[in-house]
Structure 1
Amino acid sequence: MLKTFLGVLWMIVMAAPTKAQLPAGLSQNELRHRLQKSKPDSNRILLLQRLGSTYLQEEYNDVRSSMIDTAIDIFKQGSRLSDSLQLKRFWKECRLLEGDAHLAKMETAAGISIFSEIAAIYHAEGDTLREGQAWLRLAQQMSWEQPYFVTIQVYYDKAIQLFQQVRYSKGEAAARVSMADYLFSANKFNEAEKELLQAIDLHHQTGSTKVSLIYLSLSQINRYRGAYEKSLLYARKSVDNAVRYHDTAIVDAYYGELALVLDELNRCEESSQWYRKALTIRIARNFDRYNLYKTAGLLIRQLVKLNKGREALALTDSMVAMNPPKALFEKALVMQNYANCYEGLKLYPQAEQYYNSMATYYRKAPLNAEVVFVGNLDIGRFYLQRGQFAKAHTYLDSALAYGGARLVDQRELHHMLFAADSALGNYTAAIKDLQQYQLLNDSIYNERKSRQIEELTIQYETDKKEQNIRLLEKETRLQHTELAKEKSTRRWILGVALLLIIIVALLVNYARLKQRTNSKLQVQQLQIEKKNDTLEHLVEEKEWLVREIHHRVKNNFQIVMALLRTQSAYLQGEEAIQAVAESRQRIQAMSLVHQKLYQSDNLSAIHMADYIHELIDCLKDSFSTGNSIQFNLQIDAVKLDIAHCIPLGLILNEAITNAIKYAFPDKQEGTIDVSLKRGAQDHFTLIIKDNGVGLPASFDSANQSSMGMKMMRGLSGDLDGRLQVNNNNGTEIRLDFVSEA
């Protein structure tokens, strides 16, 4: 029923605060990232605890067992670190989390052993409160299936007795609410209701007003045993209490319970409104897909009843588009929702197809018994209404194999079995089904009659108790008022005298303190002004030196270029002259970088649009292209540091030089496109493309041994970039790289 809510909410209420806190809602990746950067201290232990808990919360995962094994390994790391740091409190919590994981994996003996060990330590230390919390946590985390019913009851009783010893009413109330949930799962409805009413009394004694969760549990108990009027009363109380006292942590559950009760009362319009509210909140809070599909499925049933099949189908499509199903159980629920939609639209072949898919997934998925029961009941009802009695009987038999369903659902199941057996001629079985149906019908009637008598008795005792409480509270208030008046008078006289003395002392002290403070501030102000002057002078010197360095580097490059130009005049071979010219152009590309740096206000980055325009102008002048080759530049307004500018400049120089020299033979006219675009997350793309003759069909850039290709590949590697050379109506060179511009 509410085991998940209780296991989380009550442990949060009862857990002792820790010195270090982590932000809520951190993902597994975020936790692992923080863990890698953490030091071996208490904060790392908290990170390990939180990370392991995220794996335990993967309740509806197809690989649940491996998830739990991962959690156990993480908790063991936390235990070892806590032990090495001698942090006993953290070690105990890591061990308890490890126990939670073993219990979740159905390794009950191992889980009980760990919890018993920690409880014994708390007992030896005399920490009765935490000993009680350990036994309560064990009872909550254990599987509530046979054969552990008696054992679980013992653990709950231990926790309640220990809380009573230390007069911890809040803990006792939490234990009784959790035990009521356990009794409910065992179909002990009356005992569960008594525990919940006692928990409400404990809350009232402590002045606590947040009892919405208890009203929710009372509503569920009465709904399951067919007392819908009483269930509706408690469901409305849970919603009203949550709104009035801002107890909205699980307000979607309160809305959902009220919708379920109205659903049982066949008040479809009201029920659909509350289902819609619950679904909206769960979508906003990023609930897991299982709960989203399940809530949407309940709303879809109401829409179908209201003849709004198209709206139901649109809702299903939107839910699947927003949160596509991944695990088997999620796919089963989606198939069930689609089947209900198409059945409501009277598109029976499609409905049958989805029902069959649902049944296939249900056979494979690790879903709880009640969900599978409802699924088999749905498909059995579908085939029964279509007159396919043999198929209907198969699925109704499957539903019969699951226990724990509500009495009204069991009654409907046996009524459908009676109809199927009668149609198939199984009259002996049909008579048994009819007898079981009548027995359940009588049980529901007798249960309701007994509850009416019990409710009248409880109502009388409650009214009498509330009247006595009001009288006692009135007398207590009168006594407190008289005492308060006497104490107030004495305190007022003493307070005024003391206040005058304090004011005089503070004024004197303030005057002295202000005088001393002003003197210190004047001295500090002078020191700060001197330091600021010194720092400003140093910054100016540094900027001048950096600018001078870039200037001198640029001049040195110019000298080298002049030397190469002079040397080329003495060379005879055309290949040597061309090599020197290419070297001079490469040096020119690097020289431009340093020229832009010392001419710019920013000494660490260059505006790429200006740089590329000037580089291309130099190349055009160098090759005397005139108007035969047009350049189209599309450069985003970005600045890059020198580590990226120089490799980019050399790659641009090499690519454009090759295009001018080889793309347009016999001085053909052509166009060279150069673009530098900034993408998402600091990704950049540089493209140099011409519309010339292109590359030979056998060209393979990876196997080229020319100096230009080697240099471009090496420079792209320096940028951690990806270089591509393609034939695309000409030659296209593309470089993708990343830079924090």
Structure 2
Amino acid sequence: MGGSRYFIHIICIFCFICGSTYSHARSFASAKNDTTAIRQLMHRADDYLQKPGTAQKDIDSAISISRRMEALSLQLRSDFGLGLSKIMMSRALAHGGQREKGRSYAQEAVDIFDRLGALREKADAIIELGGSYSNDNKDIPAKVALYKQGIGIYHRLGDKMKEATLLEVLGDIYLVKQDYTNSLSNLHEALALYKSLGYKKLQGVYALLGNVYSEMSNYIDALRYNLLAVKTGEELGDSSLLMASIYNRLAMAYYTIEYFKPAMEYYQKGMHISRVNNDAYGVQNFQFNIAELLAKTNHNQQALDSFNAAYNNPPVTDVYDQGFFMMRYIPLYLSMKDYANAEKCYNKLLKIYDQVDERMKQELRLTISSYLVKMNNYTAAKPYLDAFMKMHPTYPSAVRRYANMVMLRYKTDSALGNLSSAIKNMVLYKQLSDSASNLAQSKQLGQMQLQFETEQKDKDIKLLVQKNQLQQASLQKERVFRYVIIASVIILIIFLALIYNRYRNKKLTNIQLEKQQNEINAQNDTLKGLLDEKEWLLREIHHRVKNNLQIIISLLNTQSQYLNNKDALTAIRNSQQRMYSMSLIHQRLYQTDNLGKIDMHWYIPEMIGYMKDSFETENRISFKVACDPIELDVVQAVPVGLILNEAVSNAIKYAFPDGRKGKIGISLTEIEEGCCELIICDNGVGIPADKDILATESLGMSLMYGLSAQLDGAFTLTGNHPGVCISMSFRYQNFASTERIPTFA
């Protein structure tokens, strides 16, 4: 449970493969152009496989895409694309645990790219082929040979990054083989290549070096490289599962030299990363290691809780993993004097013992013997102790573990009366105990030496920094003094030059400004004269238009005196009123300062007053005018005045027959921003039910419709019964204010 070498190896190979296929040689430009779609499919398949916690459905999707790549390659007759499809299929099958099945696809890819002379792609296929072999003793030679072949190709291509990555993987494999010399050689070569490229993510190779040195009992270098791995990863903000493994290794290094506080700190950091990455088995591994540490420091109940959490989530089903758990449960229950649970775990361990290989049995024998000796069952313990001693040369144990087994043999021989063997075992135990103590002291001295070297190095660095700072300060003072004098002289010269230049520029600027000001004044006088002339002309035009309209009105009035036809007289009167509505606008324009706008708040009451006098309504008809202070352009004011004239004159003439009394309401209001509505309503007799006023072709209705269209307005006529209501809404340009001021006439 505590080992993580294989995990680091898998991480390295995964990172390597993910980046290998997309950096193809430029010499295959034509093949690349033909396989663009195939490469896109390959990218999609890799996305599925690189998901955190890849599920079976993701693997199935990658396999399906691989088949599509193969079909498309055959359609395009592209051997290059076919090779890529074989690599992708091998990779997908490997993720699904079918490495041997994927091996044949990887081999096909190697053969295809070898035939095409595509060295880089051939190397990628070789790496995929190597990944299809396990780390068992029978598979490792083939895997190593393939990886060495890949390293040679990358070296010839000058691809240092891939060469370094593969050297790192090969170093990890040699570590699994316990070939520490070759492991260190490959890892140091990979580290040198990484550094030559300026590559920063060195935490993985540092962690592997620390593990190798730890296996070689070189605890100083082991701790040094593990600390370097943690420091590098934390500086880069690495939160991947690789960092969790690095924390685990450093914690285990501290645990072996009984530095329990930093060991617990790094175990907890690693477990946090595993939880963030949803790595349930990683969390389980950290809970197991933390429980061991807690048991070692006599926090038995906390250790039991941690063991239980690890054992149940996820549930442990593998018989070997169950064996490791039972090996920890039994001594913990014994130390807690919970003999009932210890016996249950012992019985489980006996069942496991019959299901595992000889190496695992050797691990279990110490725990079984310890339990039996604790229970004073020396006769049952003896066969396990003898079997352990017999297999020790084949499966050697750590010194302290071997010493514990010898102590158990001493107790067993003493209890069974075999005193000579007991004395031999006691002497051997003393020797082994001294050796174990020396080893522990060596580890602790190594830690102290590393701390001393680090502290001494920090002190030397601080001293050098202080000396350098003093030298720099002295040099800085001299430079500052020299620069101050030079700068002062330069500033004085520049200042004098600026003053003179500013004086000249100011003088020239004043002359230019004076000239420009005279030109501007002359232009302003000209423009003012033109503006005054324009305003005078506009006033004169409006005055003359008003006078001309008044002349026309007078002519029509004179003409009406010689007419006896009632319809003709009515037509002349209507024309006079229409002309007056326009005349009133022009009169207002030349009497005010604003030559382009008509204040409707003044105009409408003035117009209504004129119509009252013209029709001699006396007190029979009352008018109510409500007008917002709206100003309209002349173009809009004239149509509005004509519509108002038509609507009010129609109401006066037809709404109140036979001398009836009534009311006429006129309003011009702003209904929304930039839009106003004119409404003329009366409470007269209204429109007869059998008459469609909209269908009539009278001049008044035609005028109102036409003028409404001219204003782009909406014209409506409704019968209120009693009365008629005419409304027109249209957009206007401006208004004076938002306050409504009702006016009565």
Larger Rg: 2
TM-score normalised per structure 1: 0.48
Which of the pair has the greater relative contact order for Cα pairs under 8 Å at 6+ separation? 2
TM-score normalised per structure 2: 0.48
